[in-house]
Amino acid sequence: MKNTRLVFSTDPKDNIKCHQCKELMAECRCRPEDSVKEGQFTVIFRLEKGGRGGKTVTVMDGFPRNEDYLKTLAKELKAKCGVGGTHILSEKSGIIEIQGDKRDQLKKILDGKHIKYKGV
């Protein structure tokens, strides 16, 4: 554990804060983001209804933990399917949730991006 901490600095690179824990980057303890390489990961599809008021949600689990990659991919998937959704960073992987049963459309899009998948 570190016994000292930065109190004041005029150097701009010392004042950058982590977007997750709001600590200075030198003192940040967050897990680093994974790099994204095609073919390195396999996405797992599943449908969920529980706890959502009976609405069906397509959940894709197994993406790398990379906020920028997840955000842009989720935005593209939502636009191409014409529905809403979200992206979540869990402890182990990235998750994208798309509203409705859009498995067929999503699988075609992932095939075009050369992303492997399995599941329902």
pLDDT at 23: 74
Q: Give the residues of the chain that fall short of pLDDT 50.
A: none
CB atoms within 10 A of CB 78: 19
Helices (H), 1-120: 67-81, 103-112
pLDDT at 2: 61
pLDDT at 54: 86
Question: 3-class DSSP state for residue 14?
Answer: helix
pLDDT at 6: 65
Between β-strands 85-89 and 94-99, what pairing exists: parallel, antiparallel or unpaired? antiparallel
pLDDT at 92: 84
| Residue from 12, 10, 32, 9 nearest 20 by CA | 32
pLDDT at 32: 63
